[in-house]
Structure 1
């Protein structure tokens, strides 16, 4: 091995070692949030149980969320109502067509339905899709405790099957 090859290999190895020493912590910082275990959504108190009727009503609530290294407290919305049997349920107002926000009874042509003003999708009171949207509105897990309604994890609609 010549002196020139030895110096090239030594300089290259030292450079690679120092470069790895800088890159590995940066990669760990970027990948660490992905490696953290997922947690279930916490139950959030939304409204008193006595305020829930058979007519869907919109209720806003804040949740604490962590996206990687960013923590925030966004305000979310749920349409909460009772069915004819008196069971309380909560629906997410995000349209399953293109993500606009639906509203209850906002269009006279679709009485007693959720209606999306963006592209005309509409849903039943249970969130079942009737036109345009490919899926029903998502449903929050829900529990009642000490006279209050709590919402939890958002998931697929179990009522509109």
Structure 2
């Protein structure tokens, strides 16, 4: 009877099973971990290279010397300037155009000639139907001398920051129109 009691005591408990890692599992884990570590080491610089330009803070644009202050009139004039531009890894010399004039307040301002409707280039006083206005030949948008949108375009022309220093007009960052 004592044998029976002993077998009943062990019957309710599961025997302890020792799990050991086989050589095959050990090699699989070791090689898999090493491969993942080496792949991460190779991919990290590539990801950094691809994402880095997007993460860089874009500072203010450099001031670009455009024209002598004495040559600016109340009538808008088109001026083209060469600007060094960096887009990610691509560097180029780009020609920018600005319409520069004096406002009714006597202050010099500069407008970007890109129409806010579909991106065509506007010109000053080229349509006899719209005297003394910027006119877009693509879809008939027109603007006041201050760049305020009158028809078709959803927003006024963008405005460059302007500073006058030592008798010359300098253009800076392009931003929203403060005049129109």
TM-score, normalization: structure 2?
A: 0.85
Query: Among residues 12, 16, 27, which one is paired with 2:36 in the alignment?
Result: 16
Query: Among residues 102, 117, 121, which one is paired with 1:97 in the alignment?
Result: 117
Residue 165 (structure 2) aligns with: 145
Query: Among residues 81, 97, 100, which one is paired with 1:77 in the alignment?
Result: 97
Matching of residue 30 in structure 1 with residue 50 in structure 2: yes
After superposition, give the CA deviation of every residue in 1:98-120 in whole Å (9 maximum; x if it has no partner).
11111111111111110111111
Query: In terms of Rg, which structure is larger?
Result: 2
Structure 1 unaligned regions, length at least 5: none
| CA–CA distance in structure 1, aligned partners of residues 48 and 102 of structure 2 | 48
After superposition, give the CA deviation of every residue in 1:63-113 in whole Å (9 maximum; x if it has no partner).
122222222221100000112232111000011111111111111111111
- Root mean square deviation of aligned Cα: 1.1
| CA–CA distance in structure 1, aligned partners of residues 140 and 29 of structure 2 | 67
Query: Among residues 80, 88, 91, which one is paired with 2:108 in the alignment?
Result: 88
Moved over 6 A (4+): none
Residue 14 (structure 2) aligns with: none
Structure 1 residue 34, shift from structure 2 partner: 2.5
SS for the counterpart of 1:47 is strand
SS for the counterpart of 1:63 is strand
Matching of residue 49 in structure 1 with residue 69 in structure 2: yes
Structure 1 residue 43, shift from structure 2 partner: 0.8
Query: Among residues 119, 135, 142, which one is paired with 1:122 in the alignment?
Result: 142
Structure 2 unaligned regions, length at least 5: 1-20
After superposition, give the CA deviation of every residue in 1:117-142 in whole Å (9 maximum; x if it has no partner).
11111100000000111100000110
SS for the counterpart of 1:142 is strand
After superposition, give the CA deviation of every residue in 1:27-74 in whole Å (9 maximum; x if it has no partner).
111122223222111110001111111110100011122222222221
